[in-house]
Amino acid sequence: MKRIVIFASGSGSNAENLIKFFHNSDKASVTQVLTNNPHAKVLDRCKKLNVSALSFNRMAFSKTNDVLNILKSTQPDLIILAGFLWKFPEFIIEEYKNKVINIHPALLPKYGGKGMYGKYVHEAVVKNKEEETGITIHYVNENYDEGAIIFQEKCKVLPTDSAEDVAEKIHLLEMEHFPIVVNTLLN
């Protein structure tokens, strides 16, 4: 059975979707969710779904081996960043080479980098009058949103779309495609 660990910072809708997708799988399961936000809604979701969840601080994450040791004890086959807002430490990336992936709410390389997440991405897409946007699932490297692309899916942006409209379209793409791409990677 393959083990998945998810890192999230906020509401955790992608984490919940992945947990539910793999719930009855005999191939993989989400064994743990880790968050840098002790008030993140993802913690409540995990409690309801009976999945181990822990929060940590910046010191435990990037200055000590605390989070790395948690990962080593869990032995994940795949680490998924799903709305996780901190830069991932190089020493963890090195330990789990090609086993750390991220989902980004835009068609990278556009609208990536520090500070480009969630509503900020959607606002920029609308402001720049883009005709399409989408999601990118990619490997994580030492730079924000620059790892090798695994999968992209597009959607149209209408001239009348607000940032909220775009966010809704992106959310639907994430819910549909993310679990399938993760499942494919694990097989």
**Do the beta carbons of residue 138 and residue 107 sit within 8 Å?**
no
Copy the structure tokens of residue 154.
């597009």
User: How much is the pLDDT for 162?
Assistant: 98
- How would you write the pLDDT of the chain (187 residues) with one tens digit per residue? 999 999 999 999 999 999 999 999 999 999 999 999 999 999 999 999 999 999 999 999 999 999 999 999 999 999 999 999 999 999 999 999 999 999 999 999 999 999 999 999 999 999 999 999 999 999 999 999 999 999 999 999 999 999 999 999 999 999 999 999 999 999 8
User: How much is the pLDDT for 84?
Assistant: 95
Provide the residue range defining the domain that includes 105: 2-186
User: How much is the pLDDT for 24?
Assistant: 92
Count of other CB atoms within 10 angstroms of residue 40: 21
Domain with residue 161: its CATH number is: 3.40.50.170
User: How much is the pLDDT for 20?
Assistant: 98
Q: Which helix (H) or strand (E) holds 164?
A: helix 163-186
Q: How many domains does the chain have?
A: 1
Beta strand spans in the chain (E): 2-8, 28-35, 52-55, 78-81, 100-104, 132-139, 149-156
Neighbouring-strand partners of residue 139: 101
Q: What is the pLDDT of residues 48-101, one digit of tens each?
A: 999 999 999 999 999 999 999 999 999 999 999 999 999 999 999 999 999 999
* 15, 100, 171 from 123: Cα distances, Å: 24, 27, 15
pTM of the model: 0.96
HSE toward the beta carbon, residue 126, CA cutoff 13 A: 16
